[in-house]
C-alpha cells in the first residue's frame, strides 16, 4: 500500500495569517487592560456578534462546549428529550446533551460534504426530538 500523507483538517496559522497583526494587536489591548472578563472589549465583541447574526444579544463564552450547553438550556432541553447530532463529530457535540439528561441521537453524514445526511436527519426525527446540532468540519 502506498504511503499516503495525512491531510490536515484545519490549518489555524494559515487561516489567521492575513489578520495576524490585527489579532495580536487586539489581544494585546485586552491583556494589557486586565479586563478580559466583562470588560469593554468583551462588550464590543458581544455587540458585534449580535449585529452580525441579526439578534438582540450576543454572549461570549469560554468555549464551544459552554456555548452549546447554554443554547440547549435556553431551549429547555431536559431528560426524555432527544437532540440529533452527526455521527462524525467531536465528543463535545453530544456532551452537553447528556449533561442535561437528554439523549443524543446520532445520524449518519453525507460522505461528500461530511455534514448531516438530510435523509438520515428526517428519518431520525421523533416526537421527542427537540433540537438538531448541525456540525460542519
At residue 95, does pLDDT exceed 90?
yes
Q: Tell me: do 44 and 91 sit in the same domain.
A: no
1 belongs to a structural domain: no
Cα separation, 90 vs 68, whole angstroms: 13
59 belongs to a structural domain: no
Residues 85 and 130 sit within 8 Å (Cβ to Cβ) = no
112 belongs to a structural domain: yes
46-61 tens-digit pLDDT: 999 999 999 999 999 9
Binned at pLDDT 50, 70 and 90, residue 1 comes out as: low
Binned at pLDDT 50, 70 and 90, residue 11 comes out as: confident
Q: Tell me: do 76 and 34 sit in the same domain.
A: no
pTM of the model: 0.77
Residue 49 CB contacts under 8 Å (≥ 6 apart), including other chains: 58, 60
43 belongs to a structural domain: yes
Residue 108 CB contacts under 8 Å (≥ 6 apart), including other chains: 86, 87, 116, 117, 120
- What average pLDDT does the segment 28-35 reach? 92
3 belongs to a structural domain: no
In this prediction, residue 4 carries a pLDDT of: 77
Residue 24 phi/psi, 5° resolution?
A: -60, -45
Q: Tell me: do 47 and 101 sit in the same domain.
A: no
The domain of 125 spans 64-132
Q: How many domains does the chain have?
A: 2
2 belongs to a structural domain: no
109 belongs to a structural domain: yes
Binned at pLDDT 50, 70 and 90, residue 38 comes out as: confident
Q: Tell me: do 45 and 70 sit in the same domain.
A: no
Amino acid at each position: 500500500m502506498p504511503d499516503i500523507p495525512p491531510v490536515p483538517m484545519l490549518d489555524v496559522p494559515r487561516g489567521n495569517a492575513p489578520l495576524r497583526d490585527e489579532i495580536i494587536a487586539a489581544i494585546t489591548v485586552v491583556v494589557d487592560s486586565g479586563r478580559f472578563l466583562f470588560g469593554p472589549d468583551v462588550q464590543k465583541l458581544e455587540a458585534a456578534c449580535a449585529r452580525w447574526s441579526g439578534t438582540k444579544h450576543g454572549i461570549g463564552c469560554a468555549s464551544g462546549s459552554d456555548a452549546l450547553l447554554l443554547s440547549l438550556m435556553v431551549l429547555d432541553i431536559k431528560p426524555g428529550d432527544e437532540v440529533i447530532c452527526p455521527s462524525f463529530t467531536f465528543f463535545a457535540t453530544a456532551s452537553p446533551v447528556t449533561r442535561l439528561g437528554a439523549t443524543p441521537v446520532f445520524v449518519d453524514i453525507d460522505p461528500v460534504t461530511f455534514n448531516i445526511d438530510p435523509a438520515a436527519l428526517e428519518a431520525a426525527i421523533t416526537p421527542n426530538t427537540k433540537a438538531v446540532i448541525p456540525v460542519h468540519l
